[in-house]
Amino acid sequence: MGTIERGAIAVDIAAREAQVIGDGPRIEPLGVKAMSRDQIDLCIGIRASVGVDTDPNLIPEYMRTMIRHPGIFRCQMELGTVLFQGSIPARERELAVLRVGWLTRAPYEWGQHVTIARRYGVTTEEIERVTQGSAAPGWSEHDRAILRGVEELLGDQAISQATWDVLAASWNEEQLIEFPMMVGQYVATAYVQNSLRVRLTEVNPGLSLR
């Protein structure tokens, strides 16, 4: 059994971002002009499916990097779209993703999902509280179980019976199946973004964003 982090973890933001962003990407993103029509259409189609601007010039660097491996990119984005439009309510999904982003100390994922979480009603206070984990006071029983579920999956690779019972009191079977898959998807995304050293942007300053 691994260590289950239910509370705050100390994150030296400057040191972590220097580590996983460093001197720039390990694999440079394709320029839009270097992309094929099929690659552009794939990126635009995925962005359209989640309601994001479809201007080819706004395709983010992360997508233009991942498109270098079209098979993985397509599967990753298709699963991400299913989960983004899934049966777990958007606010609850974003609480889970934020906890994943914080525990994996993933600057790009954290910053991106702070912005998304706000769109679905997660407050600045709650975003800060996510960094304190399921042990922080102020969560509802259900929200606490969502965060605890993430912590258990990352720390023990399984959801405890006590946490499962709380989630099962509110979620149906489809949502219960979706939850660990969703956590795994965003853990994998954090691994890729951290390892490829995906650049931050003006609208995504990383782990400092609230």
Q: 73 and 160: one domain?
A: no
DSSP reduced 3-state for 201: strand
| Domain contains 19 | no
pLDDT digits (tens, 9 = 90+) for 84-103: 999 999 999 999 999 999 99
What pLDDT score was predicted for residue 1?
Answer: 55
**Ranges of the chain with pLDDT below 50:** none
174: which residues sit within 8 A by CB, 6+ positions away? 87
Q: Indicate whether 49 and 113 sit together in one domain.
A: no
Phi/psi of residue 95, each to 5°?
-60, -45
* Whole-number Å distance between alpha carbons of 97 and 91: 10
Q: 124 and 46: one domain? A: no
* Residue 203 domain flag: no
Question: What per-residue confidence (pLDDT) applies to 18?
Answer: 97
Whether residues 80 and 94 share a domain: the answer is no
Output the average pLDDT for the chain.
Answer: 95
Segments forming the whole domain that contains residue 184:
90-196
Point out the domain boundary residue: 57, 84, 111: 84
pLDDT on residue 165: 98
pLDDT, tens digit, 9 for 90 and up, residues 157-186: 999 999 999 999 999 999 999 999 999 999
User: How many domains does the chain fold into?
Assistant: 2
Identify whether residues 96 and 139 lie together within a single domain: yes
CA distance 159 to 150: 8
The verdict on residue 7 lying in a domain is no
Check whether residue 192 and residue 95 sit in a common domain. yes
Q: Are residues 33 and 116 in the same domain?
A: no
* Residues 118 and 182 grouped into a single domain: yes
pLDDT at 179: 98
> Cα 101 to the chain's mean position, in Å?
6
Q: Does a structural domain hold residue 126?
A: yes
Q: Say if 15 falls within a structural domain.
A: no
Return the structure tokens found at 104: 């994996």
Q: Are residues 77 and 94 in the same domain?
A: no
Residue 179 token pair: 């939850």
The confidence score (pLDDT) of residue 125 equals 98
Q: What is the CATH number of the domain that holds 165?
A: 1.20.1290.10
Q: Which of 134, 142, 147 is nearest to 169 (CA)?
A: 142
Half-sphere exposure of 51 (CA within 13 A, CB side): 4
> 34 and 98: one domain?
no
pLDDT for 121: 97
Q: Is residue 149 part of a domain?
A: yes
